[in-house]
Amino acid sequence: MTGRPDEAVERAAGGIVVRVSQPGRDALLIDDAYGHVTFAKGHLEAGETWEDAAVREVEEETGVTARILGPLGRVEYRIERASSTIRKQVRLFVMEAVDETTEPVPQAEEIESARYVSWAEAQARHEAQGYANWRWALPKAAALLDWHDGHWEKRLRGLRADDPALVQRWLEARPVLAQLLKTTADEVRTVCPDWSLPSIDEMQARLGLPRPADSVALADAVEHTLLRPDATEPEIDRLCKEAVEGGFHAVCVQPRHVARAAANVSGRVAVCTVVGFPHGATTPRALAAETRAAIADGAREIDMVIPVGAMVEDDLWTVHDHVKAVVDAAREAKDVIVKAILETHYLSVDQVIKSGLAATAAGADMLKTSTGFAPTGARVLDTALMAAVAGIGKVKAAGGIRTRREAEAFIAFGASRIGTSSGPALVRP
């Protein structure tokens, strides 16, 4: 939920702890003093991170030592206490028991019992007695554990675009990805019920990739890019000349070069620029001002960086508000396209899906993988998941794409735009 500057905030963290059993997984459940089935969680102490608090709370409440496998999600709600409104922020993680022989023992007064149960029993009990705002948690945890146990982060997400194993790995992982899409969308529908989201069937159908690499003419996809901070005006002039001669879709330049680029291309190719670049660590008001100024100088496409730090801590609401500020400013003009840069290097695979849903719900026309300033750039899996969320052809893959073969792979997996500083080399036969 969107916060108010004057309201108090309380944060809590915990997790779903899993241990391996025969014939499958067990989940650690708590029966609390209010008649609900839930998971170990509690308040952050001063100076703690979300992760530190989650590990500590699990051990303090159940006696189980666990390690974090990855983020699960976040809920927010408001409570009234002593005539004051408090905004509660609660994050859960997927965790695994360090010692699978340790049985949980309730350690806190508000806990009636703590025990491992089979995954099927955990889901049945949580569905019947769990808190409604966490109803998505166990199904999503199961999907994330399937992702983790299949080692898909390394076996698929880490593959280069030109790796010969890419298509086969994609096909093998597709059932897991379909479940990740479903359970992550269920999460977002629960915690952000007012947002307009694509249906599960629509998103899962878009996993039917790869498509033919010639679905988009390569020159029509290229956004010839020069975003280096030390770029000179002669270099901008050359970029524009190459884009016009190559018949590229657009040039992409920093805001100070927009007017020069627009004069150079004279409408023959689009002018794209960036706002909130490269960290996304600005405010909605600043983003809106940057957007209006860029459009006034001649930009027709705006690539905005989401607040990456907010997304890393599963703050969908801040991501949505930042994107909406740019969208609203862009809509004051006609036919201006907004792309949301997710900077996927810093995000878990489900956060790629969630940030895409938040950005499209806020009105972004397209999603973009990367700024080119993170340690890694575009990844084919991230591109495909973004296409599943936003629509095939509504993704710009950018960051480290230097060869025709790489560009064609990204198009095959759902991109229609390629952000690259190597435009002429990409279209060369």
- Catalytic residue (one of 140, 354, 368, 394): 368
Angle CA 401–340–146, to nearest 5: 75
CA distances in angstroms from 249 to 79, 222, 340, listed in the order given: 50, 6, 18
Is 241 noted as a catalytic residue in this protein? no
The neighbouring-strand residues paired with 117 are 27
The answer to whether 159 touches 166, Cβ cutoff 8 Å, is: yes
**Listed residue (234, 323, 252) closest to 294, CA to CA:** 252
Is 154 noted as a catalytic residue in this protein? no
Residue 76: burial class (beta carbons within 10 Å; 0-12, 13-18, 19+): buried
> Is the dihedral angle over the CA atoms 158, 163, 164, 170 positive or is it negative?
positive
Is 303 noted as a catalytic residue in this protein? yes
382-400 burial by CB neighbour count: b if 16+ within 10 A, else e?
bbbbbbbbbbbbbbbbbbb
Residue 320 one-letter amino acid = H
User: Tokens 């992409």 correspond to what residue?
Assistant: 252
CA distance 167 to 171: 6
- Catalytic residue (one of 303, 315, 350, 365): 303
**Which pair of tokens denotes residue 96?**
């695994």
Residues 6+ apart with CB under 8 A from 216: 393, 411, 415, 416
Q: Which residues are catalytic?
A: 303, 368, 396
